[in-house]
Amino acid sequence: MDKKLKGAVIGTGGMANWVHGETFLNHPETMLVAACDIVPEKVEAFAKKLDVPKTFTDYRKVLKMRDLDFVDICTPNVLHSEIAVAALEAGKHVFCEKPDAVSVAEAQKMADAAKASGKTLMVMRNNRYSVAAQFLRKYIGDGMMGEIYTGRCGWVRRRGLPGRGSWFADKKMSGGGPLIDLGVHYIDLAMWLMGDPKPVSVSGSTYCKFADNVLADTLYSSGRTRESDRGYDVEDLAIGFIRFANGASLQVEFSWASNVEEEERFIEFRGTRSGCHLRNGALKVYTESGGQLSDLSPRLHRPGNLNDHALHLHHFVDVIKKRAEPINTPETGLDMIKILSALYESAEKGAEVRL
């Protein structure tokens, strides 16, 4: 049996505790040998819970470990590129939480470092592993939807704002609000299902209307408790429109707070042979059958007990072990940051931006 891959988690907050740490702890081919966080109490608690032998408060010391195969980055967004580039240059494979980076320049540095090092760089795209997404990927790939000429996607929350003072609401730390936080998920998923069409232009608008609101009605909100003296300088709603080189288009909408009926995650496609609507995990397909319009609800079942995030982390191990080709690459990540950055630019200028 091959030796286990030795990994280190850098950033031991919510995502590391919720899924990353446990996944690598329980994977038969990986082991966690180090953990790092700038807050000593957090990293010590994480290490104690998962029986990790070494702890650090400076990621640079982690990267000096000789017997280390990969790092898993779960830090605030602004640090993703800096740590990923340093890890790749140190000869480590890298898995990183989304988004890839907070700017096109930083995402480009990551892609360049991955290419130069020959190591695997992968950023979380867990929604590609949902049962519905896997079904649609094959359904569309088999030509059952025909030409997908337009679609829309979004994640709209009623009151799911991050805690007042959280780094999520600090643009320098996060890169933006719900567009970069939630949009990276569903724009990526929509484009992947559409066959990765080349974007040529975007138009967007952003709004900040709930910065001082203290209501919360979602698990994703931290209850608006103050974590620091940081302000709130990001949007709470972003809407936009993406045009592709093949003539297709995609409407997008992402919010942390909106006066709507209920929280909704959705993707909708309109194709020449059929259409579909994926809403909060439930999938319906609309097509012609026997000369009549029909609504179909595919029966979907996930084998095993791993969630979407864990499945992507397992895929990362498979890629390192050369058992699989990467489902997403640094280049697709760079394209995503280009789209998100252009949407922010369009909102600021009040005009369409060409890519």
CATH number of the domain at 238, please.
3.30.360.10
pLDDT of residue 211: 87
Q: Which domain holds residue 141?
A: 127-308+336-354
pLDDT per position in the chain (355 positions), as tens? 479 999 999 999 999 999 999 999 999 999 999 999 999 999 999 999 999 999 999 999 999 999 999 999 999 999 999 999 999 999 999 999 999 999 999 999 999 999 999 999 999 999 999 999 999 999 999 999 999 999 999 999 999 888 667 899 999 999 999 999 999 999 999 999 999 999 999 999 999 999 888 888 876 665 444 445 567 899 999 999 999 999 999 999 999 999 999 999 999 999 999 999 999 999 999 998 777 778 888 888 877 889 999 999 999 999 999 999 999 999 999 999 999 999 999 999 999 999 9
For residue 220, the model assigns a pLDDT of 65
CB neighbour class for 144 (10 Å; exposed up to 12, middle 13-18, buried from 19): middle
Q: Residue 279 falls within a domain, yes or no? A: yes
Q: Are residues 90 and 148 in the same domain?
A: no
User: Is 76 a domain residue?
Assistant: yes
Alpha carbons 223 and 203: distance in angstroms, whole number: 32
Q: Is residue 303 part of a domain?
A: yes
Report the b/e string of 291-311 with b at 16+ CB within 10 A: eeeeeeeeeeeeeeebbbbbb
Query: What total number of domains does the chain contain?
Result: 2
Same domain, 133 and 83: no
Inside any domain, residue 164: yes
Side chain identity at residue 338, one-letter code: K
Write down the pTM of the prediction: 0.94
Tell me the three state secondary structure of residue 188.
helix
Do 76 and 109 lie in a common domain?
A: yes
Question: Does residue 266 sit within a domain?
Answer: yes
